[in-house]
Structure 1
Amino acid sequence: MNKLMTIIAAATSLAVASVALSANANAGEVLDRVLKTKKLTVAVGTDWGKMAFLNAQHQLDGYDIDVVKSISKSLGVEANFVTPSWDVIAAGKWRGRWDMTTWMTPTKARTEKFDFPAVYIKDEVLGAVHKDSKITKLSELEGKVVAVGAGTAAEQYVKHKLAPDWIGAKPIEYQFTPGEVKTYKSSNVAFDDLRLGDGVRLDAVVGDGSLVEDAIKAGYPLKVIGVAFSSPAALAVERGDKEFNDKIAAAIQSMKDDGSLSKLSIKWFGVDHTVE
């Protein structure tokens, strides 16, 4: 009996030690890699409107790109960008392929996978329909075919699963229940389907405001019918490296203090979206 208890105690101790080791496995690992390689690798999109896009020279440009370059400068490293699809980014388990991502809504559910060092911009999620549509407000999307980006807060909203649990969150008012939800890896593809005509493939797209507004400015025959909700957008890193998390937080705080973050918002959006 004593031998059995000894074996159980040893197994329990080993399990506890394994959990502790797993919890601390990433402590300092990401920051060490970034400083050693002199490179901060960040996952962004090529079709995120003025947040991140390919310019005429086929180079990444936009608000997020400028923010990351500033953070990299403060760390004394070079900014490096990769462009996986959003669903891959949001799934977590990056395995060192990149160190950080941008423009993520910091929901409670996501804190199981990610840490959010800093909120760096405020975002609105808008509803848009074809310009020929008779729909004029979100409530009129009841029973309609609505498109969203896969893995986005807009998808959670349309499916009535959004948990508005970020700092300063207000209760979510679901203004409609769609008849069908179509998910797209890229919001631009959803806009392409909507531009074919009212009700041809879609009745509406619900997505980030900057993407909707950019599509309209680019000549897409769309119109905005309302704000679904607004939320903070944060930088996201995988959980477990407090040192790296703190460095990113300090860099953004410095940009807020010296006004450079506000200037970047005004540069790209014409207004300061970094404050309420």
Structure 2
Amino acid sequence: MNKITSLFNIKYPIIQGGMIWNSGYKLASAVSNAGGLGLIGAGSMYPEVLREHIQKCKKATDKPFGVNVPMLYPNIEEIIKIIVDEGVKIVFTSAGNPKTWTSFLKENGITVVHVVSSSVFALKAQDAGVDAVVAEGFEAGGHNGREETTTFTLIPMVKDKISIPLIAAGGIATGRGMLAAMALGADGVQVGSRFAASFESSSHQNFKETIIGVQEGDTQLTLKELAPVRLIKNKFYKDVQELYEKCPTKEELATLLGRARAKRGMFEGDLTEGELEIGQIAGLIKEILPAEDIVNEMIAEFEHAKLEVVTFGF
């Protein structure tokens, strides 16, 4: 048992990221059943869809699971009410001020974790009363912090500032990556991209197959004027870059982005005009696997790598 397995009452300190259009109840329950902590991604769900996924997840697993809540999305009050009404015990918040909902959630018996991109925000989250933080480096897919601090730089800096449990995220998809993050001070890891390419991920098969074809350098952090997001370099990404050459306003960027661009790409499988969010670590992902196999492979590699370090000193 370590701080993370004790906090969530799970077997392994592996948290599946609550990714939009990927993290439905099937993925969350599969990861929880495998010994990690599965998260339902509320960011791409209408409130009643979220309720349905929570109810189905409770039937699919008797293990702990949680919900990831990006606080910048609409209907936040209704989402929080559903989480409380349905008896969810773990909530990961992101993209907002942790002071807004932490006290209310904790008053309702919920363990709260907040996602941060800097030690400054980690301290603010700790001061707000969260139970742990996820420190996410800019290697991560999807929406990112503006600091562009890499995971291996971020983790020891955050560890130096806080006293609550620390979860590392961004660029972690293997047992060796997990060991490295924990050697730098993390108590556990949050894994997104690797679980996006799982059988149980709710994303489109086209997107999953694109992930396993990604090579080093095929993703880029862009749209910083709106909200920094890491994308696969497809036609939509190239359209964004062409617009940047004209020194666009925020309004022009928002017009190009439009509505539901991420849904179009990841959920509906439009590989040309859709927004395809994935992390840099996708370059190491070569096959689509069941979530249970992903967890088991990570733990086996973690234990083997740890033994190598102890035995051979490398």
Instruction: Name the one with the larger helix percent.
Output: 2
Larger Rg: 1
Q: RCO (CA 8 Å, sep 6+): is it higher in 1 or 2?
A: 1
User: Structure 2 length as normaliser, TM-score?
Assistant: 0.29
